[in-house]
Amino acid sequence: MLLEEKLADYRLLLASRSPRRRELLTASGLPYELADDFACEEIYPDTLPVRAVPLYLSQLKSEAYPRALSPRDILLTADTVVVCQGRVLGKPENPEQAARMLRRLSGGVHEVVSGVTLRTAKHRRSFSALTRVWMRPLREEEIACYVDRFRPLDKAGAYGVQEWIGLAAVEKINGSFYNVMGLPIQRVYTELERFIETL
């Protein structure tokens, strides 16, 4: 039985404003609905290891969801961060900060880590995925043009791998390409199937 058939008895709720996550979930063929928007202050302990941040935040978002889940609801929450030189790079607050982030990523290797949480009214399953990304050195005019043209203020690390910068500057990827887009969709697919089998 295909996973989409197994989901027939459930309602998969995607709690994300990210158009990339919506695009990837749609492309996977899995039926889902968008959860109602809700506020969640994305704060994590300073002592948390950087690779554990997105998993912590995905769980925080899941618990912050204000609606009671029905017995057939499966809530999906996710968070993605870029880790460079031991520092978490989230979404830039302005173009200047975006440019600074890209200078930090330029000519080096960084990690993209996503955390995902699946939750029903009674059960929860969380997991994370890590991808390493090699980026060639970027010239100042390239950074300025990318920030101005693509306005990457809604993206962790100030870039979208599916955009110009991914085509022209990313040299190599070790791990899931889609994780760099914001959702490790293959892992979501297999983990969701395992999760349903335990319900």
What does the chain come to in residues? 199
Burial class (CB in 10 A: 0-12, 13-18, 19+), 5: exposed
| Neighbour-count burial of 104, counting CB atoms closer than 10 A to its CB (0-12 exposed, 13-18 middle, 19+ buried) | middle
From 9, 79, 148, 154, the catalytic residue: 79
Asked whether the beta carbons of 50 and 88 are under 8 A apart, the reply is yes
Residues 71-97: b if buried by 16+ CB within 10 A, e if exposed: eebbbbbbbbbbbbeeebbbbbeeeeb
Q: How far is Cα 121 from Cα 109, in angstroms, rounded to an integer? A: 40
d(CA 106, CA 109): 8
Active site residue 79: yes
- Catalytic residue annotation: 79
